[in-house]
Structure 1
Amino acid sequence: MDEIRSMAREAKGAADRAERTAKRAESRATEAQRQAEQALTAANAAQACCTANTEKLNRMFKKSMSK
């Protein structure tokens, strides 16, 4: 009977460790998702800036060519 209790305690300990590991992994995944969303936001802003600059340069070029 003691052997069964010991095995049960070991199994419980292993399950508890697995749960803690899973919670840490979930937390890290959540943080990675947050950082990815920030990177996407920054990339979209940079793209919008580049697009605006390209449009401005094109207008300036067309204006200079029409003179």
Structure 2
Amino acid sequence: MKASDVKDKTPDQLQDDLLKLKKEQFNLRFQGASGQLEKTSRMKAVRRDIARIKTIQRQRVAAPVKG
């Protein structure tokens, strides 16, 4: 997921994506703990996508305060 893709989404879409990513992160952690995780790089990608979405959400909240 690219930052430009995230910026084009509505707040509701971002919240839905964030929820899906957090569920995926939980499942990946569970798979890692049980030794069933095949693609360990997916954990890093999901974590970064979550951070990307949270950053965009925070920027949108803070933007009106500055202006």
Higher CA-based Rg = 1
TM-score greater than 0.5 by the shorter chain: no
TM range (shorter): 0.3 to 0.5
Query: What TM-score does the superposition give when structure 1 sets the normalisation length?
Result: 0.41
Query: What TM-score does the superposition give when structure 2 sets the normalisation length?
Result: 0.41
> Which of the pair has the greater relative contact order for Cα pairs under 8 Å at 6+ separation?
2
